[in-house]
Structure 1
């Protein structure tokens, strides 16, 4: 990414964000922290990847300014560890000259951006604001998914079976037939499916089979479970 001078005029200040600075250069950490603090952000500095991973709350939104090349655990290794843990934090890589291919590869793997050192203040702050916004959106989606999962888990096993059938758009009669064929030892009639449908919609706080289908998809559930042995 080529640094460009800030445009004329004054941009609206970005919302305050938690910004982790992970760099083994103490001077870089201090200068970045001073800049971010002056702009209202909360900078937290770490001299190594392991220190950051041990202390950071990966479930809360924020931005990580991550040095691509560090002694010991590299920035890419830190990034990969964060992804395995399912963090909502978003990463902006800081790279030195000659590390273009690695930086571009990191962006393709999910990093928000990469900045070549040294970068100007406007470029850095813009990247931080974008990463923080994307992280906040990811945290909101994760929270919504957890709530959906909790509501799904509140369904009885039979209600979950019925819900998976209704999520495909089947009518109560069709769902009853499919479930009876799947488990002949536990036949079910359409009226019982209707009763389950009402309870399912109430517990999941939805109003239609279409919403149910979207919820099942969001949770990564299979709408057509395999036939029971």
Structure 2
């Protein structure tokens, strides 16, 4: 997975320069963009990181950009940093998934703490997305009958119960189980249960 970055999207050059210097002085890699559109043109959907985002900008607003990223399932943790904060906007932003909502001017130490927490959250989010994608790919490699057997295995059914439920022989169940373990790469029932649970939450 790529190293998490701090993306700064603000149409005020002085704000961008100040935030970039703050990040770099703390050993954090930052990229600056003067609009939501320029950020979208450059952003790679699989890139984890923290997005420090202004609310009001020329063209696309911060919340509009956030909605696009949410739709795309991007593993970015969003921090709003704005001079136009309000309680309704704060509530709306947090409900949309923002990890924090700060108003300018902001204390540098406080902002860095928020950014570090957001970077950790983004990395964990990226790992979860990666796990879901891997699980979905493994499950997609199974035949329909193998998926039926897998679900029954994850439900704790014995070979005899699976055979009776599906109307197949005990030996056929064993063959399906061996193929399932081989195709998914799991080594035991516990790992298989985890795979099935992750697969249930996998994106379409």
TM-score (norm 2): 0.88
Which stretch has the larger CA shift, 18-27 or 211-220?
211-220
Contact 1:17 1:41 in 2 (8 A): no
Shift of 1:17: 4.4
Q: 2:98 aligns with which of 96, 101, 111?
A: 111
- Write the distance in 1 (CA, Å) between the matches of 2:70 and 2:164: 43
Q: Is 1:24 aligned to residue 4 of structure 2?
A: no
CA shift for structure 1 position 47: 1.3
CA shift for structure 1 position 157: 3.2
Shift of 1:69: 1.9
Correspondence list, 1:1-229, <5 A: 17-180=4-167, 188-220=168-200
The alignment's C-alpha RMSD in Å is 1.9
Structure 2's unaligned 5+ residue stretches are: none
Q: Unpaired runs of 5+ in structure 1?
A: 1-15, 181-187, 222-229
TM-score, with normalisation over the residues of structure 1?
0.79
Larger Rg: 1
3-state SS of 1:219 partner: helix
2: CA distance, partners of 1:178 / 1:95: 59
In the TM superposition, residue 77 of structure 1 has moved relative to its aligned partner by: 0.8
Distance in 1 separating the partners of 2:184 and 2:85:
52
Deviating beyond 4 angstroms after TM superposition, the runs of 4 or more aligned structure 1 residues are: none
Q: Which of the pair is proportionally richer in helix?
A: 2
